[in-house]
Structure 1
Amino acid sequence: MLKASYNPKITETLNRMASILRTEEEWIEEVINPVFKSCVSAVENKKIALSVSAMYRLHVAAQKRIVRKTIAQVKGNLRRITYTHTDAVLNLLQKGTDCASLDLPDHIRVKRDRGMLLFSGAESSDAGCGNFEYSILAPGTIFIEETGDYLEFSRIGREDMPCFKSGDPGRFSFQSSDQAVFFDMDTLSFPIIIRNFRPGDRFTPLGMSGTQKVKKYFINNKVPGKERVKCPILLCQGKIVWIAGHRMDESVKVTPSTRNVLKAELLKVRVES
């Protein structure tokens, strides 16, 4: 009866429109996928970090798509996520200050910090630190939620290395401190995995020729047990390249033939008393 009061071909018209919309949606998804990947700085189970600077460069329509895509990947779906929520995230992106955050339905939290938009899902019920693992896809900053620390990766010019500046390539400074190291970037490849200690872990400490168990390194250097489980360990292609805050691996050090340098720095959050 309702059908009769409208254009007799309304069903055909609606079906055609739906087909056009589906085709356009598929095309938009193909266009947005590489843009989304270029904005992602790090991915971990139920956690995604987006680069604020990369998002800034996009049209607002692309920003909205990427925000919804990120939420869908963290949450598993977009149920109860409205465009009001999307706009709130964009407001955090455009006007938010560091450490500002907002909560979305189903325990999704979005936090802006150090040039990143951090999307995280429901917390595990497991108490304490537990095992953690993150992946960083390109130079940038990643927040380790379990420890409250940051790891910052930056590509620097060979000429900015103190040893090359001094004109004495025989004197190399591989570590500017326990918290920062310089890698020969050509010996590494992304993604870099960041996780905590696992039984059986081995590496070749800087300055040594043989491998050593990470557990033995911790014991020899009197690293407290509480600190061992939280200590971030960096791996490239399954090989440990740095025990963050302690020692890097011999195989990735800067040498006289180094052309590209990657600086990695552990930024510990200080709690003011």
Structure 2
Amino acid sequence: MGGYMKEKVIDTIIRNNLIEKGDNVVVGVSGGPDSMALLYVLREAKERIDFNLYIAHINHGVRGKEADEDEEYVRRVSNELRIPFYSIKVDMSKYAKENRLSEEEAGREIRYNFFRQVLSKLGNGKIAVAHNKNDQAETLIMRFIRGTGLDGLKGMDYKNGDIIRPLLDVSRDEIEEYIKENNIEVRIDKTNFKPIYSRNKIRLELIPFIKENFNENFIDTIYRTSRLMAIDSDFLKKYALEKYEQMVYKETKDKIIIDREEFSKQHDSIKSRILRMAIERLLGYIKGIEEKHIYDAINLILKNSTGKRINLPKNIQISIGYGHFTVEKVDLKEKIVDYKYMIDIESTTKIDELKCEIITEILNVNEVDVKKNNRFIKYFDYDKIYGNLYIRNRRPGDRFSPLGMKGKKKLKDFFIDLKIPRDMRDRIPLLVDDCNIIWVVGYRISEIYKIKPETKRVLKIQIKSKEDLYGTRYSSNIN
């Protein structure tokens, strides 16, 4: 099987034009089975395709002595194979904390940043990573659980910008057989066998359960599904590009003007793709622009609301003109996109727009010292809360029952009374349930949800942020 796997990978490289003559290819090598198999196959592929091969290794600083030994092992292999070696040692846990990322996200960001640093020294090229058929299955499951569309269900691409994945057509079993037949020494990261990350739980618990109880060929089944999704996704992408090119009036590095009538005629799927295409051309990427942002933008475009505009993440603004709409990069430092997140009780919720965390806890009233209230820690009568909890910014028509007041008043008037500047009002988070505003965060809680003598259960909410949510405090009238 070892020779078969090698031919299979080289066929994937040639068929998908992953590596061309003269390319600089940086292969990420951890020392584990997948990356070592990729390294040795690429070394053999060099005999058929004349390219330059380099090894890059990241010591994440998580596993102490074992991580140092991994680095030394990969360095030794690079010397034996006479392949140039680059390495870096980082504190992944510290990086994750400083950048408000999970350790998985931090590791991924650190890896690709380093790979690209190496590439820039070499004068550009390609990054080869060891994602295989099993990784593809895990990725698809994760995306399905979190929610995704057709493009997400096609899984990882063989080629995505400067990243190539030569092992996508081979399974982990094939890789292990290749390693065994070729007597390749590998390093084993024991954390891969602990269900401490979402991906590990899928690999170690969910997929084995599915294979045992539903489909023993699940990996191959989901692989075939991803290929079918890829075919449809690629067709729609090409079709949307044709339509995009037909309806664009003008395109610069900061602004794209699109015919609104032609846009309105398209199927919803194509509308979404065209809008994403425009944003990606301006930014160079689409990460951070979610389906809810695209949906809101399309609704505005179709309403024929000339003069209206909507702000999206990443300083993207869409404005409506006569017969057209404009997608552009603008300075939105003082503005914030509309957002709404459901808050899970007794957990921590991250709010990207505000770079903060919301921590919730249910307590018995006897455990609470209300005097410990401060601007960003508040206590509420938990049994008064109706339905789900959300954090969002203001919406037109919002009304609020400020602590100490009978009845409700317009949130706009509440802000005016506190002399909060107009350009700051969209930045103020609101804690709401399915009926009312519970807390204008940092300013006032609702009279409806205050703790009373008859209160039994208390919801404690704490908001943590590295930065002041609003900058200067605009009013001392805070309860």
Q: Aligned-pair distance for 1:254?
A: 0.7
Q: Residues of 2 paired with 1:236 and 1:195: CA distance?
A: 11
| Mapping of residues 72-111 of structure 1, within 5 Å | 72=144, 73-76=146-149, 77-81=152-156, 94=196
Local SS of the residue matching 2:424: helix
Preserved contact between residue 194 and residue 234 of structure 1 (Cα < 8 Å): yes
* Larger relative contact order (CA 8 Å, sep ≥ 6): 1
Q: Residues of 1 paired with 2:363 and 2:139: CA distance?
A: 31
Corresponding residue for residue 208 of structure 1: 405
Q: Residues of 1 paired with 2:287 and 2:138: CA distance?
A: 16
- Structure 1: gaps of 5 or more residues: 1-48, 53-63, 97-105, 110-119, 164-172
Q: Aligned-pair distance for 1:67?
A: 6.8
Local SS of the residue matching 1:215: helix
Preserved contact between residue 381 and residue 458 of structure 2 (Cα < 8 Å): yes
RMSD of the TM alignment (CA)? 3.9
Preserved contact between residue 74 and residue 121 of structure 1 (Cα < 8 Å): no
Local SS of the residue matching 1:208: coil
The alignment's TM-score, normalised by the length of structure 1, stands at 0.54
Q: Aligned-pair distance for 1:246?
A: 1.1
Query: Of residues 385, 396, 399 in structure 2, which corresponds to 1:188?
Result: 385
Q: Residues of 2 paired with 1:176 and 1:245: CA distance?
A: 11
Preserved contact between residue 203 and residue 249 of structure 1 (Cα < 8 Å): yes
Q: Does 1:71 align with 2:268?
A: no
Corresponding residue for residue 342 of structure 2: 135
- Structure 2: gaps of 5 or more residues: 1-100, 105-135, 158-164, 169-190, 199-284, 295-312, 318-331, 469-479
Q: Aligned-pair distance for 1:190?
A: 4.3
Q: Deviations over 1:49-82 (max 9, x none)?
A: 99x9xxxxxxxxxxx9997444234432332338
Q: Does 1:156 align with 2:353?
A: no
Corresponding residue for residue 112 of structure 1: none
Query: Of residues 241, 246, 250 in structure 1, which corresponds to 2:447?
Result: 250
Q: Aligned-pair distance for 1:258?
A: 1.0
Preserved contact between residue 139 and residue 155 of structure 2 (Cα < 8 Å): no
Please tell me the residue identity of whatever aligns with 2:363.
Answer: I
| Mapping of residues 1-273 of structure 1, within 5 Å | 68-72=140-144, 73-76=146-149, 77-81=152-156, 94=196, 125-126=316-317, 127=332, 128-162=335-369, 173=371, 176-270=373-467
Corresponding residue for residue 161 of structure 2: none
Local SS of the residue matching 2:427: coil
Preserved contact between residue 189 and residue 236 of structure 1 (Cα < 8 Å): yes
Q: Aligned-pair distance for 1:199?
A: 2.1
When residues 67 and 239 of structure 1 are mapped into structure 2, their CA distance, relative to the original with a 3 A threshold, is: farther
Q: Residues of 2 paired with 1:131 and 1:220: CA distance?
A: 23
Q: Residues of 1 paired with 2:445 and 2:424: CA distance?
A: 17
Q: In percent, how many aligned pairs have the same letter? A: 25
Preserved contact between residue 191 and residue 236 of structure 1 (Cα < 8 Å): yes
When residues 121 and 197 of structure 1 are mapped into structure 2, their CA distance, relative to the original with a 3 A threshold, is: closer
Q: Residues of 2 paired with 1:234 and 1:65: CA distance?
A: 38
When residues 202 and 262 of structure 1 are mapped into structure 2, their CA distance, relative to the original with a 3 A threshold, is: same
Corresponding residue for residue 88 of structure 2: none
Higher helix proportion (structure 1 or 2) = 2
Local SS of the residue matching 2:378: strand
